[in-house]
A and B are shown apart, each in its own frame.
Chain A
Amino acid sequence: NAGVMQNPRHLVRRRGQEARLRCSPMKGHSHVYWYRQLPEEGLKFMVYLQKENIIDESGMPKERFSAEFPKEGPSILRIQQVVRGDSAAYFCASSPNSGNTIYFGEGSWLTVV
């Protein structure tokens, strides 16, 4: 049973470009969470999605950030017009249902130059 798959693992973008991070949950998991981890800091909740629905986006910045989890395919976290402050590790996690154990992917490290 493959774990949570994230890609790309490392991504370098120039200021103003767009970053797209993809996440495929574990088999049988329909709940996806995105967390951001700044260097030497903790895990900050961004968004919680189920298939075709955003359940909780209270941690998402109001501008430039969006997330989706379509009926088919991976969940995508999209950051438009990236700035240096967006440089971080973005972790996706999945669970079979709400309020339960979540399992993290290996993360996507975004560097904005």
Chain B
Amino acid sequence: GENVEQHPSTLSVQEGDSAVIKCTYSDSASNYFPWYKQELGKRPQLIIDIRSNVGEKKDQRIAVTLNKTAKHFSLHITETQPEDSAVYFCAASIRGSSNTGKLIFGQGTTLQVKP
């Protein structure tokens, strides 16, 4: 069925280190892969996204890579800072039988950046 798996569920790094979060998806027709950051009690906010015609995208300290053959994509945060601490969600557009392109989210990764 429609599924997005995200790992790890928790991640603790030292300030300045890199953090990597990985997701896999099941629908080979998926063509849009956004990442959201959610702070406690707040709404999810888009931080970066990638489409299936691109293998990698970078925005300052954040980058996303996509491997369509293997059906997985990853978020890379370099030079982490305490304010990067939050829950990160990956998502994939799922066409499915209804062909609606809705987003299905991974289970989330709680990132803790220690000063």
Q: Do A and B come from one complex?
A: yes
The stretch that binds A, out of B41-49, B64-72, B74-82, is B41-49
Interface residues on B, range: 20 to 34
Q: How far is the CA of A107 from the CA of B41 in the complex (A)?
A: 9
Q: Which residues of A contact B103 (CB under 8 A)?
A: 33, 45, 102
A42 touches B43 (CB 8 A): no
Mark A15-54 against chain B: 1 for CB-CB distance below 8 A, else 0.
0000000000000000001010000011111001000000
* Count class of interface residues, chain A: 20 to 34
With contacts A56-B102, A58-B98, A99-B101 taken as known, whether A42 is within 8 angstroms of B46 at the C-beta atoms is no
Chain B 2-61 residues near chain A, CB threshold 8 A: 31-32, 34, 36, 42-46, 49
For A48, what are the chain B residues with a Cβ–Cβ distance below 8 Å? 100, 102
In the complex, whether A1 has a CB less than 8 A from a CB of chain B is: no
Binding site for A on B (CB under 8 A): 31-32, 34, 36, 42-46, 49, 89, 93, 95-96, 98, 100-108
Binding site for B on A (CB under 8 A): 33, 35, 41-45, 48, 55-56, 58, 91, 98-107
